[in-house]
Structure 1
Amino acid sequence: MAALRKLQICAQSPTGKHSASLIFLHGSGDTGQGLRAWVRDVIVPDLAFSHIRVIYPTAPARPYTPMRGALSTVWFDRYKISRDCPEHLESIDAMCSTLGSIIQDEVNAGIPKHRIIIGGFSMGGAMALHLVCRYHPDVAGVFALSSFLNKDSVAFQALEERHRTGLSLPELFQCHGTSDDLVLFQWGEDTSLLLRKAGMTTTFHSFPGLYHQLSQPEMELLRSWILEKLPLTISS
């Protein structure tokens, strides 16, 4: 098997002792640096913590079918942008393996998986859901901002199987602006309902007037949820 390709990352180090990690995945066509700058512009005084390392990886450039094969920094390919079409599982699974190396790096640094949160914006949120629901359900949680899954996603099937066999499921924090494209907002809301039906504990927040973008109220709510899942003081 070929060696896994290491992703470029930028990271916000904690101001104190590193005891938890957050992996934040950008949307299609963006970069980790771009998302990092956007977050810094949106939330004051930044998405920074005394004990949590925030990691912003960059997806490798790949031919992207919805852009007629043009290169783009996307986490996976799509046959088309439609909730009804099959998922491009080959590219999704390959990226799950690559991103798994970032999780392993944090574990090797002494951070247990139950002290790691994974999430993302738009395509980054969908990537995070595949990564957590199918491969790393033992992390502290997953978040998806302006994100959605195809209606027959294998992520739903993976959750249903875990739920049926009595295994624990990750918790989801999801946000979407109501002024996003109506189809995309409905797609995001339906994703939340299908994940809940599969047995997942989900929280869905809608933001009136918000388009396909980040906002300060959304990010403040996310920060609170992160601190709830990854508190500074670790219970014995």
Structure 2
Amino acid sequence: MAAFSNLHKCVVSQTGKHTATVIFLHGSGDSGQGIRTWVRDVLKQDLAFQHIRVIYPTAPLRPYTPMKGAQSNVWFDRYKISNDCPEHLESIDSMCKVLGDLVDVEVKAGVSKNRILIGGFSMGGAMALHLAFRFHPQVAGVFALSSFLNKDSIVYQVLQNNEAPLPELFQCHGKADELVLYQWGEETNALLKSLGTKTSFLSFPNLYHELSRPELEQLKSWILKKLP
């Protein structure tokens, strides 16, 4: 745990008074700087706000089973990229603790937890779903881009017995995505909705496993709606 406790972060600062925070998690094998650059290239500008700080942390290097144990910057390990296998809960839960510390730092800096959004792309979106729904349900919302949860995810099990308010989910997925299948994302959204989560699901017909400008513009609008 100690090796993971001080994540490298790329930050896009607010231009005015800091009253809210977005934590944006990259996909497997990427970095905080990498996805910040990708977002900027797609939008032709940073995802930036007058009052919202955007934090892009980098996942630690760890052995990654789908790459035959090679080291990669991933938020957690997977037995395989599939929605019908068990989750690697040990690595998921340890990273939830590390990222939870990042949430706590923002709270200690004066940002109320209900003024924090957590989300990400691909594996980053799945990580955000675990972090928000299982450990920090008081956050303003969670977003997942080209992401999914395993069909027997512990997230669903936790929510079955939940009576407290849940964060709203904003989800986007490309119909042409062949790495993280569109059906997996759609199923994740439907299951979370059936368990009491307020959800939105935007599909993009010609989008592969990537970011697009229309998607990010929709995300920016949603962020401003949740964190005015």
Q: 1:2 to 1:181 in 2, by over 3 A?
A: closer
Shift of 1:4: 6.0
**Residues 4 and 60, structure 2, Cα contact 8 Å, conserved in 1:** no
Q: Which runs of 5+ in 2 are unaligned?
A: none
Q: 1:181 to 1:141 in 2, by over 3 A?
A: same
Deviations 1:62-103 (A, max 9, x none): 000011000000000001111111000000000000001110
Query: TM-score of the superposition, structure 2-length normalised?
Result: 0.97
- Inter-partner Cα distance in structure 1 for 2:75 and 2:66: 13
4+ residue segments displaced more than 3 Å = 1-4
* Partner residue in 1 for 2:220: 223
Equivalents in 1 of 2:179, 2:80: separation in Å?
Answer: 18
Moved more, 178-187 or 37-46: 178-187
What is the CA deviation profile of residues 92-123 of structure 1, one whole-angstrom value per residue up to 9, with x for unaligned ones? 00000000111011001000000000000000
Aligned equivalent of 2:200: 203
Structure 1: 5+ residue stretches without partners = 232-236
Equivalent residues in 2 for 1:5-84 (5 A)?
Answer: 5-84=5-84
Out of 194, 209, 213, the residue aligned to residue 212 of structure 1 is 209
Closer, same or farther in 2 for the Cα pair 1:183/1:63, shift >3 Å? closer
Match of 2:90 in 1: 90
Relative to structure 1, is the Cα distance of residues 183 and 99 closer, same or farther in structure 2, using a 3 angstrom cutoff? Answer: closer
Instruction: Indicate conservation of the 8 Å contact 2:148/2:185, yes or no.
Output: yes
SS of the equivalent of 2:159 reads: helix
Structure 2 letter corresponding to 1:122: S
In terms of mean alpha carbon deviation, does 193-202 or 38-47 score higher? 38-47
- Measure, in 2, the Cα distance between the counterparts of 1:161 and 1:109: 32
- Distance 1:27-1:183 versus aligned 2 partners, 3 A rule: closer
The equivalent of 1:138 in structure 2 is 138
Deviation at residue 171 of structure 1 after TM alignment: 0.5
CA gap of 1:161–1:145, structure 2 versus 1, over 3 A, is same
Q: CA RMSD in A?
A: 1.3
In structure 2, distance between residues paired with 1:182 and 1:194:
21
SS for the counterpart of 1:172 is strand
Q: Which amino acid aligns with 2:171?
A: Q
Residue 230 of structure 1: how far off its partner (Å): 0.1
Give the superposition deviation at 1:46: 2.4
Name the amino acid aligned to 1:174. Q
| Amino acid of the structure 1 residue aligned with 2:214 | P
Amino acid aligned to 2:129: L
**Does the 8 A contact of 2:146 with 2:180 survive in 1?**
no
Distance 1:174 1:23 in 2: 15
Q: Deviations over 1:4-46 (max 9, x none)?
A: 6110001000000000000000000000000000010011432
What is the count of residue pairs matched by the alignment?
228
Distance 1:159 1:139 in 2: 16
Correspondence list, 1:92-111, <5 A: 92-111=92-111
Distance in structure 1 (CA, Å) of the matches to 2:131 and 2:35: 19
